[in-house]
Structure 1
Amino acid sequence: MTRATKHYVLAAGGTGGHLTPAFALAYELDRRGHHVELITDRRGAEIPGKPDFLTAHILPAGRFGKNPLKWPQGISAVMEGRRMALRLFDSFQPSALVGFGGYPALPALLAASSAGLPSVIHEQNAVLGRVNRLLAGKVNAIATSYPEVDRLKPQYAGKVELVGNPVRPAVLALREEPFPPFIDGGLLRVLVTGGSQGARVLSEVVPDGLAMLPPALRARLQITQQCRPEDLEAVRKRYASHEIPAELATYFEDMEARLADAHLFIGRAGASTISELTAVGRPAILIPLPIATDDHQAANTREIVKAGGARAIRQPNFTAKELAKQIQALAQHPETLANAAHAAWNCGRPDAAEKLADLVESFGGAPIQDVIRVNTGKTATQGSPSGAVATQEMSE
C-alpha cells in the first residue's frame, strides 16, 4: 500500500541532553509514517538509546572556545560540515530540519538557511543555548520547554511555541502511576544522581547530610546513589560509618524503576532531569551545576520551585547542615512530600513529543509519495551524501 510521507532531518549535539528529545521526536515522526535521519557527532552516533531505524550522519562541527587563535580551525570545520549537510539534503530531500542545539547542529542549520529549507529549533533549557541564539533569527519556529526562556529576544516572540521537553517513553509510562505511599514509620526512599558520571559534591555532602537527620527519620532511610567510579568506595564507607543502608553504583540500567520507587530526588538540574521529574511527579532537592553555560541549570529550576515541587540550593550553600534542614522540612509530614510530588507533576508536559511533531509537520512542501511495505517495515533506501559517514547503531 502507499501513503503520504515526509522526510525530516534532525541535528543535535552528542550529549544525552540534546539527543533524548531528538530521539523522542524521531519515534513520533516515524510512528506517523515519516522518514527521519540524524546529523550529529561521533559521540551522538554511538550513544545508547538511538532508534534502530535512525541513520546517523557524522559531520564536522567546529568548537569556539575562548582562544581566538583556534577560531579559524573551528570555522573551517563548520563550513565543511555545511557542505556535507547540503549534499545530504540534496539526496534526502527533507521537508524540514529540526535542530536541538549543540555545535554539531550548527553546520546543518546554516545549510538549511542557505538552501531555503524550513527549519525549527528546540531549546531544552530555560536559557537559549549558544547555537540556538545564533540561528534564532533564521529559523521558522522556536520550540521551547519552559514558558520563560532567558536570552530569547523579544522580536522572536511571534515564532515561539511552548511544547515542553520530550522524555523517554519508559519514563512517560510512569506518569499515571500514583506517588509511592509514604506513611509515618515507613521507609523514605531517596534517589541521588549527578548526571551520567555522578557529581563529586553529592558524594561528599549527601551522606553527611543524611546522617544529620533526627534518629527516627534517619532510621527510615533507604538510599540509591549514582557515584563517579573513583568515588564509589569512599561513599560506601561514609554510609557504612553512618549506618545508613545505601545501594551505590556508577550506572543503573533500571533508572526508571528507581525513579518510580523514589519519594525524593537529590541531584543536578539538567533539562532532561527536570522534564523526567515533572513527567513522573517526584519532589526534588536540586543543586544546579555552577559551571553550566549561562547558568542555565539554575534557570531550569525556576518553574518547579515556584510551583512547590522542588527546592533549589546553590552549590556554595550546599552543606550537610542545609541539606538535612531541607530534607527534614519535606519529610516531616507525609502530606508535605505528596503535595510537592503533585506540584512537580503539574509542571509536566507529557505531550511534548506530539506537540513538537505537530509543529514540525506544519512546515515543508506537499508530502512525498513513498512506497512503504507496511507488513515488513521496510522503506526505500536513502542515499548518503558523498563524504558523510552514515552509521547504523547495532541492536542493544
Structure 2
Amino acid sequence: MGKAGRHYVLAAGGTGGHLLPAFALATELERRGHHVALITDERGAKIPGKPDFLPAHVLPAGRFGKNPLRWFGGLKAVWQGRDMAKRLFETFQPSAVVGFGGYPALPTMLAATSDDIPTVVHEQNAVLGRVNRFLAGRVNAVATAYPEIERLKDKHRDKVHLVGNPVRSGVLGLREEPFPAFSDDGILKVLVTGGSQGANVLSEIVPDGLAMLPPALRQRLQVTQQCRPEDLDKVRERYRNHDIPAELGTYFEDMAARLADTHLFIGRAGASTIAELTAVGRPAILVPLPIATDDHQAANTREIVKAGGARMIRQEKFQPKELAKQIQALSQRPDTLATAAHAAWNCGRPKAVEDLADLVESFGGADMMDVIKVGASAPRAASQTVASAPGAAREPSE
C-alpha cells in the first residue's frame, strides 16, 4: 500500500483528555488522504467532538482497580477486546496503530503488537500513564507533549518524539493574535475553569481571593467562571456581595472566544488546558488536581512555570490570601502580564498534530517514497525545540 490512502487505527477512550487528541490526529490523517478508524469503549463513544468521517468500534475494556478480586474480570475483558481488535485488523489492515493511553486503548495496542503492526503511543501528560508505561517497551515510538517525562525508563528514551498536544483549530487560530490590551486603568479580564466538571475549590476560594485585591485593582475586575450546577447560586451571591461583576455558567461553548479576551486564567492543570494556554499565550495561576494519578497535573505545570508563564499553587495552600498575592504579582504592571503571556506562548507547540501525523506516517511504509519521507521528516517529527516567535522577535502588545 502506498503512502496515499493508507489505513490507520486510533485507540482511545474513557475521557476527553484521551479522545480529543485522537480526533485531531484523525482529522489530519484524513486530510492527507488516509482512512482512519477509532476503537474505543462505551464511555468514549459518548464523548462529543468525533469527526463525522470517523467510524467508531466499541470494544470491551478491562478496569483494574485496587481490589485484586476484580482483576480477573478486567483481564478477561482485555483479552476479549484484543481478539476483537485482531479481527478488525484482518479486514482493515492498518499500516500503524496509535494509542492515546487509558485502559480502553490496551486491548487494541496488545493486538497490534501481537500482529507485528507498527505502533505509536501518545502521552498527553508530563508523567507517562500506566497503560503507556506498560506498552513503552513494546511499541515503536512514544510521542510526548513535554520535554521532561516522568516514569519513563531510560532504556525507552530513544523512542521518544516530542510533538506536543494537539489543540482545537478554533483555539490555535488565536496564536497569532496579540495579547489583549491591558493598561494601568483598564479592565482585568479573568477566566476561571475547573475542567469539564468544574471544581468546587475554585468556587470556594476564587471570589474571596479576588475580593482581597487592592481596591484599585478589584474595581477593574471582570470575571468569567465555570461552576458546578450546585455551586452557581452560592458563587453568584459571593460575587454580588463583593461587588465584582461576574458571568457564571456550568459550560461555555465559546471557550475560544473567551480565551481570546482573557488577561489571566485560573484553573486546573490538565493537559488540554495547558496546551491551549501555551498555544494562545495566556498567563495562568494553576491549581493541580490533588488526586490526579501520579500527581501528573503538577508535573504538567513544570515547563510553563519554569518559563515564567504561570504560577502553581498546591490545593492545600490555595487560600484567598495566597491567590490574591499571586494575582498581584502577575498583574502589578501591564508589562508584567504581557511578559508572562509571551513566556506561556513560547511553550506552545502549534504544530503538534502535524508532527504527530508525520511520526505516524513514518511507520508502516516500505516503498521508496516512504523511505525518502522518513529521512526528510524525521527531524521535524522528533523535534525537541520549543516554539519560537514568528520572526524571532514577536512581543505581545501591551
TM-score, normalising length: structure 2: 0.91
- 2:209, 2:67 → 1: CA distance? 41
**Alignment pair present for 1:130 and 2:127:** no
Aligned position for 2:372:
none
Q: How does 1:31-110 map to 2 (within 5 A)?
A: 31-110=31-110
Contact kept, 8 Å, 2:282 with 2:340, in 1: the verdict is yes
The residue correspondences of 1:287-302 to structure 2 (distance < 5 A) are 287-302=287-302
Q: Which string of whole-angstrom CA distances, capped at 9 and with x for unpartnered residues, describes residues 14-63 of structure 1?
A: 21111111111111101100000101112221211111101111110011
Quote the residue 1:391 is aligned against.
Answer: none
Corresponding residue of 2:156? 156
Amino acid of the structure 2 residue aligned with 1:345 = W
- 1:366 deviates by 4.7
CA distances 1:354-376 after superposition (whole Å, capped 9, x unpaired) = 00000000111358xxxxxxxxx
Per-residue CA deviation, residues 334-383 of structure 1 (Å, 9 max, x unaligned), is: 0000000000000000000000000000111358xxxxxxxxxxxxxxxx
Secondary structure class of the residue paired with 2:253: coil
For CA contacts below 8 A with separation 6 or more, give which structure has more relative contact order: 1
How many angstroms apart in 1 are the aligned matches of 2:3 and 2:155? Answer: 39
**Whole-Å Cα distance in 2 between the matches of residues 78 and 243 of structure 1?**
55
Code of the aligned partner of 2:190: V
Q: Deviations over 1:134-158 (max 9, x none)?
A: 1100000000000000000000111
- Matched residue, 1:226: 226
Task: Give 3-state SS (helix, strand or coil) of 1:121's partner.
Answer: strand
Q: 1:46, 1:197 → 2: CA distance?
A: 16
Superposition deviation, residue 91 in structure 1: 1.1
Q: Deviations over 1:183-219 (max 9, x none)?
A: 1111000000000011000000000000000111000
CA distance in 1, matches of 2:293, 2:117: 29
- Secondary structure of 1:165's partner? coil
Aligned to 2:182: 182
Matched, 1:277 2:289: no
Distance in 2 separating the partners of 1:3 and 1:301? 38
Q: AA paired with 2:227?
A: C
1:255 Cα deviation (Å)?
Answer: 0.5
Amino acid at match of 2:147: P
Give 3-state SS (helix, strand or coil) of 1:104's partner.
helix
Give the distance between the partners of 1:16 and 1:128, measured in 2 at CA.
17
1:377 equivalent in structure 2: none
Instruction: Name the counterpart of 2:167.
Output: 167
2:241 aligned residue: 241
- Where in structure 1 do 4 or more consecutive aligned residues deviate above 2 Å? none
Secondary structure of 1:365's partner? coil
Segments of structure 2 that go 5 or more residues without pairing to the other structure are 368-398
Determine the structure 2 residue equivalent to 1:111: 111
* 1:10 aligned onto 2:10: yes
Give distance in 2, aligned partners of 1:16 and 1:277.
Answer: 17
| 3-state SS of paired residue (1:98) | strand
The AA in structure 1 aligned to 2:279 is A
**Separation (CA, whole Å) in 2 of partners of 1:133 and 1:116:** 19
Q: Distance in 2 between matches of 1:201 and 1:212?
A: 17
Gaps of at least 5 residues in structure 1 are 368-396
Partner of 1:373: none
Alpha-carbon distance between aligned partners in 2 of 1:46 and 1:135, rounded to the nearest angstrom: 26
Aligned to 1:346: 346
Indicate the percent of aligned positions where both proteins have the same amino acid: 78
CA distance in 1 between counterparts of 2:102 and 2:12 reads: 6
Greater fraction strand: 1
Match of 1:379 in 2: none
- Offset, 1:3: 8.7
Equivalences, count: 366
CA distance in structure 2 between the aligned counterparts of 1:201 and 1:57, rounded to whole angstroms: 37
Q: Distance in 1 between matches of 2:221 and 2:365?
A: 57
Structure 1 position 332, deviation (Å):
1.1
Root-mean-square deviation (CA, aligned residues, Å) is: 1.1
